[in-house]
Amino acid sequence: MARLPQLNGRQVVKAFQKFGWEEARQSGSHIILTKDGHMATLSVPNHKQVAVGTLRSLIRSAGLTVDEFVWSLN
């Protein structure tokens, strides 16, 4: 399993956009992402550094593996 790098909120959003997630709105300090065909929405904290546990949870909710997510960063 690949190791997750330290990312800020905008970098996380860009990575999810590569998988078809779209920015729906910004709610306070969080960016809400949606995707057609998924009931779940992703609430990405717009912080300087997203916690690793939070990022893992977002990846799981998106139906991705950590390896797929890390690969998309390249």
Task: Kindly state the average pLDDT of the residues 57-62.
Answer: 97
Going by C-beta distance under 8 Å and a sequence separation of 6 or more, which residues neighbour residue 59? 65, 66, 69
Q: Which fold has domain 9-72?
A: Metal Transport, Frataxin; Chain A (3.30.920)
Residue 37 pLDDT > 80: yes
Domain locations in the chain as residue ranges: 9-72
Residue 1 pLDDT > 90: no
Q: How far apart are CA 23 and CA 46, in angstroms?
A: 12
Q: Is the pTM of this model over 0.85?
A: yes
Q: DSSP readout, 5-20?
A: PP--HHHHHHHHHTTT
